[in-house]
Structure 1
Amino acid sequence: MASSVSGPISLPDSRYDLSTYWGRVKHCADISDPSTLLTNSASLEKSKELISQYKNGQIKQMTPELWNAKKILDSTVHPDTGETVLLPFRMSSCVLSNLVVTGGMLTPGLGTFGTLFWQIANQSLNVAINISNANKSHPLSTSQLIQNYTIAVTASCGVALGLNSIVPRLKNISASSKLILGRLVPFAAVVSAGIVNVFAMRSEEIKKGISVFDENGDEVGTSKTAAIYAVGETAASRVINATPIMVIPPLLLVKLQQSVLKGKGLGIQTLANLGLITVTSFAVLPFALAIFPQYQGISVNRLEASLTGKKDKNGKEIDTVYFNRGI
């Protein structure tokens, strides 16, 4: 993000009002804009240079060119490390990266092998996105990554296979209800495993705390309580994001298969399924991302006692600190 560029002058957080939900929706639409994936290294360096000039007082006002530079950095660069996030794991690539695995998971009639394959593929992608966008206060070791990845995959596959075996044996419900429940099995697996995934991959943050900063961007200390907020809200946002994508397309597909797609070939039905997933994903992503602010302020009175009574570089007592929730 643009906040990773050094300079004594603070950069405006957004051209939109991030204290409002609608302002965050428009901001998230910016950082998830797939067009930023076309940014090359020259454009990225130019954006960093422009932001640096502003933060060092060489440019006095935000201009459309500066806002665009900020948009590029916010969607491309990690806010803690200043490093470029690998393209498939940026939030601007979220819909495109998830399209294939989501389409695979929502394919009707998957057998045991297909269910396992797509659940593993989905959790592998989730792990990569979590690692690439998480708060970097306490990076995980390789052994921890492998252990937590195994936990997430086991949860995902266990729920999916378990529900797939239970739904056909349910009694006292109609065949159409069984069909709908069967189509929602991937949703249950993704939601449950998504929560496990976030908490497992970011467990070190909860154990050790994450860095919190004053309004000038200077580190005040670390907080386990802030880490719980950050990880918990990220897990909740995963559920919120997955719900419309994993629920609306399969239910609409059932209706379409009973009407306009009835008797159509597998290829046409697959394209219809991917189309539904794509449209829904692009439509809901900014709204899901905007539920919780990425950078949040919290009163020091709600955190550890060790953070109270501290003063900033100007001698002012700090009553509010800020943290990066991660994505």
Structure 2
Amino acid sequence: MASSVPGPFPLPDSKFDLSTYWGRVRHCSEISDPFMLLTTENQLKNARKIVSSYRRGELKDPSPEFWHAKKQLDSTVHPDTGETVLLPFRMSCCVLSNLVVTAGMLTPGLGIAGTVFWQWANQSLNVAINSANANKSHPMSNSQLATNYAMAVTASCGVAVGLNKIVPRLQNISANSRLVLGRLVPFAAVVSAGVINVFLMRGSEIQKGISVYDKNGDEVGTSKKAAFLAVGETALSRVINATPIMVLPPLLLVRLQKGVLKGKSLTVQTLANLGLILGTSLAALPFALGVFPQYQRIDVHKLEDHLKNQKDQHGDTIKQVWFNRGI
């Protein structure tokens, strides 16, 4: 993220008003823009130079070139480390990375083996994305990563397999209701395991706290309360993001299979399913990401005592601090 570029002058957060939901949606649509995947290393180096010139005060006013450079960095590098996020795990690749596993999970008629495989694939991808985009105040050890990964996969597979066995046994509902409930089993598994996944993968942040910064970008200290807020909001955003993607396509597909897709080949139905998932994902992701600001501020009186009554580099009392929520 552009905030990882050092300099005495603070960067504007966005060309959009991040204090409003619509402003955050527009900002997140830029971060998740799939065209940013075409950004090369040379373009990133040039983007860092442009942003650095602003941070050093050489570039006085944000220009279109500056905003494009900031967009490239915001969608490609980690805000804490400044390192390039591995391509499949960037938010600009989120829709494409999730397309195949989501289609697999929503495939009708999966047996136990198929259900377990696709839930494993989905949670593996979630673990990688959570790890790559988490707040890096306290990096997770390999043993912690392996343990949390196993627990997340076990949770998702357990929920999915359990519900797949329960739904067919429901006797007091119509066959159509059972069909609809069966199509929504992946949603229940993804939501429950997704929340568990976030808290497991980022539990060390809550235990140790995350770094908080003053308005000049200088670290003030660490806060467990800010960490709990960051992780909790991220978990909730996962639910918000998964709801339209895991609910609308399967319900629409049931409707289409009774109409225009009736009697069509498996290939046609699969392509229709992929199209529904892709369209819903592209539309829903910015709205889900925009619910909570990624880099947000909080009054110090809401945090731990050791963060209160501190002064910044200019000798002013710090009343508010900022932290990276992670994505």
TM-score by length of 2: 0.99
Which position in structure 2 is the counterpart of 1:140? 140
Residue 43 in 1 paired to residue 6 in 2?
no
Distance 2:41 2:214 in 1: 32
- What secondary structure, in the 3-state scheme, does the structure 1 residue paired with 2:75 have? helix
Report the counterpart of residue 287 of structure 2 in structure 1: 287
Q: Does 1:204 align with 2:204?
A: yes
CA distance in 2, matches of 1:212, 1:284: 30
Instruction: Write the deviation string for residues 103-132 of structure 1: whole angstroms up to 9, x where unpaired.
Output: 000000001111000000000000000010
The separation in 2 between residues aligned to 1:11 and 1:227, in whole angstroms, is 23
- Distance, in Å, in 1 between the alignment partners of 2:54 and 2:305 is 36
- The two structures, once aligned, show a CA RMSD in angstroms of 0.5
Equivalence for 2:217: 217
Partner of 1:124: 124
3-state SS of paired residue (2:135): coil
Identity %: 72
Q: Number of residue pairs matched?
A: 327
Structure 2 CA distance for aligned equivalents of residues 125 and 234 of structure 1: 16
Matched letter for residue 92 of structure 2? S
The residue that corresponds to 1:34 in the other structure is: 34
Deviations 1:66-105 (A, max 9, x none): 1000000000010000000000000000000000000000
Gapped regions of structure 1 (runs ≥ 5): none
Q: How far apart, CA to CA, are the structure 2 residues paired with 1:228 and 1:50?
A: 35
Distance 1:141 1:218 in 2: 26
**In the alignment, which residue of structure 1 is the partner of 2:92?**
92
The aligned residue for residue 260 of structure 2 is 260
**Matched residue SS, 1:13:** coil
| Mapped partners of 2:142, 2:238: distance in 1 | 24
The residue type equivalent to 2:230 in the other structure is: A
AA matched with 1:168:
P
Aligned to 1:75: 75
Q: Which residue of the partner structure matches residue 15 of structure 2?
A: 15
Structure 2, unpaired ranges of 5+ = none
Residue 54 of structure 1 and its aligned partner are, at CA, apart by 1.1
CA-to-aligned-CA distance 1:232-277 (integer Å, 9 cap, x gap): 0000000000000000000000000000101111111000000000
Report the alpha carbon displacement of residue 172 of structure 1 after superposing the two structures with TM: 0.9
- 2 CA distance for matches of 1:231 and 1:126? 14
Tell me the distance in 2 between the aligned counterparts of 1:12 and 1:215.
11
Tell me which residue corresponds to 1:165. 165
Supply the AA of the counterpart residue of 1:284: A
Q: Distance in 1 between matches of 2:44 and 2:298?
A: 32
TM-score w.r.t. length of structure 1 = 0.99
**What is residue 275 of structure 1 aligned with on the other side?**
275
How many angstroms apart in 2 are the aligned matches of 1:300 and 1:18? Answer: 20
Q: AA paired with 1:256? A: L
